[in-house]
Homo-oligomer: A and B are copies of this chain.
Amino acid sequence: MPISDRDENLDQATEIHPKHRYSPIRRGGLEVPETEITLDDSPTGPNEPFYTYRTRGPECDVTEGLAGLRSEWIEERGDTETYEGRAEHPLDDGRPRLQASPESRWRGTNRPPRRATEGRRVTQMHYARRGIVTKEMEFVALREHTTPEHVRSEVAKGRAIIPNNVNHPESEPMIIGRKFLTKINANIGNSAVTSSIEEEVSKLRWATRWGADTVMDLSTGKDIHTTREWILRNSPVPIGTVPIYQALEKVGGEAEKLTWEIFRDTVIEQCEQGVDYMTIHAGVRLPFVPLTTKRVTGIVSRGGSIMAGWCLAHHKESFLYENFDELCEIFARYDVAFSLGDGLRPGCLADANDAAQFAELKTIGELTHRAWEHDVQVMVEGPGHVPLDKVQVNNEKEQEWCGDAPFYTLGPLATDIAPGYDHITSAIGAATIAMGGTAMLCYVTPKEHLGLPNRDDVKTGVITYKIAAHAADVAKGHPGARAWDDAMSKARFEFRWNDQFALSLDPETAQAYHDETLPAEPAKTAHFCSMCGPKFCSMRISQDIRDTFTETLGMPGIVPDEVARVAEPADAEAGMARKSREFRERGSNIYLREDHGDN
């Protein structure tokens, strides 16, 4: 299917809201994207603009692709080489009948593949451990408002990762680790049943527009290789994949026909394209498979069941587990990060935290340490479906067994009974697990368990997970996190409606809902809302209460001792007559006096 050269929905409104402006931090030759939100004046004076973390840079023509922001940095390090690369294979795009038409092929920027020169490692962890602060670390430090040394130190310890394949120079460096802002991932990708390249690229841009920090391309349908090329060349965020999905397509969908060689070739194909992190289900070992037979929902991870199927068919140990060190060597040459997949994660509350899940997690811990011996960055995937009382132990065991590698969970869903609302069932679990130390949350859309998400679902999933991540950042006391809530609350108290819309995660929905009840433009500056109406408003009364105390006593924003004493019942009688008089003299102005015709 041909790709249109304009994404109309995005072009119509490059920024999310008229008060939003791309306003990068420029320092030391770096340009780190941020959004500036202009705020109206308060009654007490002007407000500084508010700046938010932004996961998309300036936009590009989708047929050209983004500029290679990191190309120079990578070249300057002088430890990589370009090379001819793996030959294309007809099966790279899937089985013949599913392959793309020629006009859908990528025709934008085409860089030769790059890798570490023989014997070198080019991972951020490698540099960090040697005390080198890379440009990527500086970029991340500016983005997170912390020091480059803090970033370096966390990456060196394995407690954070900067997923940045040298073949994805378009990607703006970001960090995943529990000392940093909680990140969210959005899954996109076609399936054998439905969807096109165009839709997937559009979903990528849409997801990052609303704040996805990374995107996983989980395509299993047609044009797998070509779809991924379009996605990578247009993605300012790291791209993750599950290479076993593509490998499976190459063997006609029959897991037992998979071999280490086909898998390794697929991994190299994806390394050369620029995939930043790959889910590898190397913890699904043959001996663990029988542990799943008592389960209510068995194995629900696609990758997990592929590997379990292979292990059973051959009655051999997993080729991923057996060849893990070779995988590490490959990843170290491109700086691909492991996302060690939880192929035995629970698919329902009943199966949470069971022997199979924890046997795999312990193995993942072993593999984490092996990857670190190769300086390869690692994050660890987690569940899934977990009752709230069993959530925190997942963080604890992950931190203990996996040496504090960043934890990356799918939800977890806190109940199984609400298909159609699993963005919500899982946001509850996600906020809870992130508060306890999980570094990245994989979003769940309303279509989970039911169908493939469309653009609306992607947006709902992303916004819902921004909520969960931010709620956790606030709860963890992450520096600066609550400033956003406070800016919103101040705007709310002062009836700066347009600022409330601009500061919200989804300005257009907030404004649309306000318009439904009070569509008129004056309502956006009115000192009331539809809940109380113009005659009476609790916010307004609060302001009057504040005015009463501050005007009388001349100390705005502070409760002076004299007033504070009133708080003691014993002293209350004293000033009452005077205060009552003062209040009435001010016109007892606790209600709005505007006449709106009906009172």
Contacts and interface: CB of A to CB of B under 8 A. Distances in A.
B451 A431 contact: no
Contact of A530 (B193, B313, B557): B193
Nearest to A517: B451
Contacts of A130: none
A450 B302 contact: no
A16 interface: no
Contacts of A294: 557-559
A73 B509 CA distance: 50
Contacts of A446: 513
B97 A545 contact: no
A583 B349 contact: no
Main secondary structure of the interface of A (DSSP, over half): helix
A299 interface: yes
B493 A313 contact: no
A452 B530 contact: yes
A193 B518 contact: yes
A288 B572 CA distance: 10
B349 A485 contact: yes
Contact of A568 (B287, B417, B450): B287
A488 B290 contact: no
B298 A505 contact: no
Nearest to A431: B428
Interface string A407-438: 00000001111111101110110011001000
A489 B530 CA distance: 42
A471 interface: yes
B474 A414 contact: yes
Contacts of A298: 493, 539, 541-543, 545-546
A111 interface: no
B421 A305 contact: no
A350 interface: yes
A538 interface: yes
Given A313-B583, A482-B349, A253 B572 contact: no
B420 A538 contact: no
Interface stretch (A22-30, A371-379, A574-582): A574-582
Interface in A280-324: 285-302, 304-306, 308-309, 312-317
Contact of A387 (B474, B489, B564): B474
A137 B427 CA distance: 36
Interface stretch (A55-63, A160-168, A584-592): A584-592
B536 A291 contact: no
Contact of A304 (B98, B500, B538, B564): B538
A351 B295 CA distance: 46
Contacts of A563: 290, 293
A262 interface: no
A567 B449 contact: no
Contacts of A583: 312-313, 315
Contacts of A447: 513, 516-517
Interface in A506-559: 506, 509-510, 512-514, 516-518, 529-536, 538-539, 541-546, 548-550, 557-559
A474 B349 contact: yes
A533 B193 contact: yes
B192 A598 contact: yes
A472 B428 CA distance: 10
Nearest to A299: B542
A174 interface: no
A417 B467 CA distance: 8
Given A287-B567, A349-B486, A467-B421, A297 B416 contact: no
A572 B286 contact: yes
Given A220-B532, A220-B533, A417-B488, 5 more contacts: A192-B534, A291-B559, A292-B545, A424-B424, A446-B513
Interface string A155-194: 0000000000000000000000000000000000001111
B467 A545 contact: no
A383 interface: no
Contacts of A289: 545
A452 B517 contact: yes
Nearest to A533: B192
A151 B508 CA distance: 48
A154 to B, nearest CB: 22
- CB-based closest 7 A-B pairs: A298-B542, A192-B533, A451-B517, A348-B489, A315-B580, A315-B576, A388-B475
